[in-house]
Structure 1
């Protein structure tokens, strides 16, 4: 196998537009690896953040990117059960050359097969936000008939998480920009309040008629998540999806809330192969639900491979709910 990939490469801490397009020779596959020819690349906030701040395992010439969909070109010795030509998508390890390339080597146990009813565009949009939402959803015991708040539901993670919670029978409340309120209410959300309202917390509590939340999912940052802890009732759950809550935000022997940290990327270094494979199996079930229309993804903004740095820079600048993706071929 002698394949030369075109790859957008990181050189040093900087802007997305500092990426350089280079040709890189694809190395030999390990026994547990698979070579994917990418057809569509999903862009995520973590991409521009790491390009800006760097990552311990990165050096000049590293290929960023965690999400893509494509076609299996070759498989390693222990991956012969994966069919060459299969349509797959993936979320890859931050410490390995990633998806900003025409070709990417991925562990075979970290692939998700794409159902026929799901396009490569949808599949590339799926892994990072939707698996993050799924991990957050799974942190909390049965939420049926429980009061749940999703803070920042307008983004890709919050949007998908809100649907998961509604399908499980939770009583869901959200904060989001006003342009999203009608859609959320049509989904079945009990109350949607603009997070820009200075008194949104008081408004939200008033809708609960003397109750508090059983779970709060925050997509903003650790300090914002901590600020939401007074909204939780006894034995409630606070799930910080973006960042973490470093210390207990409430006094001991009060509501005794549980703190939860979400870090999808950490599974590649700290999870077992079994845990990764199970997550991929869950992902395939979710992709089936996207294919049959049970679950929905955010609207997409598509650009070509040659414009990847510009499209990523635009995503960073606009900070909207739109999912930015790149068509490779």
Structure 2
């Protein structure tokens, strides 16, 4: 099979395409013939950083969609030919290949009518957004802020939050305002505008979903009201951002890949069910998967470089 690998850390340009034997699934695993590959910021970041668990050369990539081409020992809930999407453990050989071995419990069943490029855009952005909104227990009419709302995860959060009846204040690019309102934002604030936080000082929020950094999230903590929630999707809070026994906010970190090392099977069952529901909603037209580019397999490094360069008002995928 053809696969993209790198033997050193660096930019997406270090990737090279080689031929290797098709891997075989082990116990509790399945082999997926990839039809589309989802590109995510975590891909170019770990190509730059590396990981101590990798064998070199390493095939990166966490998201993909295709057909089950082989079953490992003990896998009975899937059949060969089944259409699936997946989020793979970034410590394993990844999705930037014609075939990928994944844990069977990570396979998300797909509707027959869902195109593979749309399916490949579900796992990392869609399930990260689902995890984020699941962190907080809020009521219809609750007021929340979503920073980095112009990106793929932000757009997914807007849609999931809208279904819960929350009033959403999106912070993003001014040029994306109409799109963000279409996805569910009640207001859109340009993050480049000086003093944009001041508008929220008289209206305490019930939750903030931050996709910038832990330091950035710290500056938003004072905007939360009593018992509010600060949800970090990039980075985390290493120290309490506010004095104890003031607004008594809750701190949350979101890390989809941590599921592979720490989640139980029943937690994976809930995650896969959420992905399956999202796939059905894309087919029925009630969820926008936000595809902005479908590139070819041979163009993968360049497409990943475009993702790194940005802007990315949605998802970029590669079609095999």
Q: Does 1:240 align with 2:232?
A: yes
Alpha-carbon distance change, 19 to 287 in structure 1, aligned in 2, over 3 angstroms: same
CA deviation after TM superposition for structure 1 residue 107, in Å: 1.2
> Of residues 50, 53, 66 in structure 1, which corresponds to 2:49?
53
Alpha-carbon distance change, 174 to 94 in structure 1, aligned in 2, over 3 angstroms: same
CA deviation after TM superposition for structure 1 residue 188, in Å: 4.5
Quote the residue 1:147 is aligned against: 143
CA deviation after TM superposition for structure 1 residue 211, in Å: 2.8
**Cα deviations by residue, 1:180-209 (Å, 9 ceiling, x for unpaired):** 21233344422111011111111244xxxx
Q: Secondary structure at the match of 2:37?
A: strand
State the TM-score, normalized to the length of structure 2: 0.96
- Map residues 1-329 of structure 1 onto 2, 5 A cutoff: 5-205=1-201, 210-328=202-320
Distance 2:295 2:25 in 1: 30
**Cα deviations by residue, 1:163-194 (Å, 9 ceiling, x for unpaired):** 11111111111111112212333444221110
How many residues matched?
A: 320
Contact 1:17 1:309 in 2 (8 A): yes
CA deviation after TM superposition for structure 1 residue 309, in Å: 1.0
CA deviation after TM superposition for structure 1 residue 226, in Å: 1.0
The runs of 4+ residues in structure 1 deviating greater than 4 Å are none
Unmatched runs of 5 consecutive residues or more in structure 1: none
Unmatched runs of 5 consecutive residues or more in structure 2: none
Alpha-carbon distance change, 18 to 56 in structure 1, aligned in 2, over 3 angstroms: same
CA deviation after TM superposition for structure 1 residue 15, in Å: 1.2
Contact 1:65 1:98 in 2 (8 A): yes
- Root mean square deviation, CA, Å: 1.3
Q: Secondary structure at the match of 1:264?
A: coil
State the TM-score, normalized to the length of structure 1: 0.94
Distance 2:158 2:224 in 1: 18
Contact 1:17 1:310 in 2 (8 A): yes
